[in-house]
Amino acid sequence: MLRVFVYGTLRAGEVNDLNAAAQRHGIAVPTLLGTGTVAGRLYDFGTYPGLVLDASGGPVVGDLYEIADELLPVLDEIEEVYPGQATLFVREERAVLHNGQPIACLLYPVAESAVATLPRIDSGDWVAYRRARDTTAT
């Protein structure tokens, strides 16, 4: 089983909900381990966020899951990560804090250069930010 940290549209109830993606592909439903944080900065790309890893950044909130190996290619497809191609997101393994303990997880950050003109999500929580933004916009 792999561990992943999801901070944006792969979170439960979001447009690319990890659980729904697994079900659509007939893959075992992921096991939610709980909430975690990683040091970085979150940015608003409009319909999804991007995480820039930054040891001096604030905590970015997300969910930790254990997933079946078969789900990884589905996540790569959602994040448009393709071997040998330069893409917006990359897949990396990083330590994520869960209940004060570091856990090695796969996650999908973006490069600093991709966020130069984008608004920063100061709270570090995409779901709370998106809900507030979308409520204000209507």
Residue 58: which CATH number? Answer: 3.10.490.10
Query: pTM here?
Result: 0.94
- Residue 138: pLDDT band (50, 70, 90) is low
Overall number of domains in the chain: 1
Count of CB atoms within 10 A of residue 89's CB? 21
The mean per-residue pLDDT over the stretch 94-119 comes to: 96
- Residue 134: pLDDT band (50, 70, 90) is confident
Which tokens in the block code for residue 15? Answer: 């447009």
Q: How far apart are CA 96 and CA 98, in angstroms?
A: 6
Active site residues: 79
Q: How far apart are CA 112 and CA 50, in angstroms?
A: 10
The mean per-residue pLDDT over the stretch 89-113 comes to: 96
pLDDT digits (tens, 9 = 90+) for 62-87: 999 999 999 999 999 999 999 888 89
Q: Which domain holds residue 90?
A: 2-137
